């Protein structure tokens, strides 16, 4: 069964959006398969975002992700990677539709509340990085 990696970023945790976000994935019908609150180190955040290492916003992105605890999750279900991205909304909240998580809860691209894998391949890689010992 298809799985995706979803992370509630430090702003989402600090703003008390964890329950709301989990609820949206649950109500859609997806199954929570792994969940942990974790504060990651710089090298780990750089690894997670390694594909963006050449972007001008990379260092700011890494600083943001390590600024506080995040909620790392594995969600499972039919089409969960693509549908998860739809539930999350466009990268820049200025373009995210109302009804999506970013559309409802964010304004700035640099504080966009949540991460979701962009392909089945990325999901496999990210689940392996964040849950190296399985979904515990
Ligand atoms: P997504 O998180 O929608 O998969 P991405 O993988 O292209 O988007 O970028 C990862 C994160 O980097 C994104 O959630 C927020 C940040 N980011 C992307 N583009 C940015 C930009 N132009 N300025 C600042 N931060 C940006
Ligand atoms: Mg991405």
State the pLDDT at residue 74: 98
- Residue 92 assigned as binding residue: no
**Which residues of the chain have a pLDDT value below 50?**
none
Contact 72, 36 (CB under 8 A): yes
Neighbour tally for 72: CB within 10 Å = 22
Ligand 1 atom nearest to 9, measured from its CA: 14
Instruction: State the catalytic residues.
Output: 115
Q: Is ligand 1 within 6 A of the CB of residue 115? A: yes
pLDDT at 136: 66
State the closest ligand 1 atom to the C-alpha of 115, by its place in the atom list counted from 1.
2
C-alpha 105/C-alpha 12 separation (Å) is 9
Q: Has 85 been labeled as part of a binding site? A: yes
What pLDDT is recorded for position 61?
Answer: 98
- Indicate the top mutation candidate among 91, 116, 125 to test ligand 1's pocket, ranked by most ligand atoms within 8 A of CB: 91
CA–CA distance, 110 with 35 (Å, rounded to integer): 24
Query: Is residue 6 lining ligand 1, measured as CB closer than 6 Å?
Result: no
pLDDT at 35: 98
Question: What whole-number distance in Å separates Cα of residue 9 and Cα of residue 73?
Answer: 11
118 in contact with ligand 1, CB cutoff 6 A:
yes
Task: Answer whether 3's CB lies under 8 Å from 80's CB.
Answer: yes
Q: What is the pLDDT of residue 135?
A: 83
């Amino acid at each position: 069964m298809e799985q995706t990696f979803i992370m509630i970023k430090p702003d989402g945790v600090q703003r008390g959006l964890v329950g709301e976000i989990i609820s949206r994935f649950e109500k859609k019908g997806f199954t929570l398969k792994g969940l942990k609150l974790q504060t990651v180190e710089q090298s780990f955040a750089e690894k997670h975002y390694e594909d963006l290492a050449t972007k001008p916003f990379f260092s700011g992105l890494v600083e943001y992700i390590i600024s506080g605890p995040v909620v790392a999750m594995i969600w499972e279900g039919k089409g969960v990677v693509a549908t998860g991205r739809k539930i999350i909304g466009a990268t820049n909240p200025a373009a995210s539709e109302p009804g999506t998580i970013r559309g409802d809860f964010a304004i700035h691209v640099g504080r966009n509340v949540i991460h979701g894998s962009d392909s089945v391949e990325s999901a496999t890689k990210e689940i392996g990085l964040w849950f190296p010992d399985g979904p515990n």
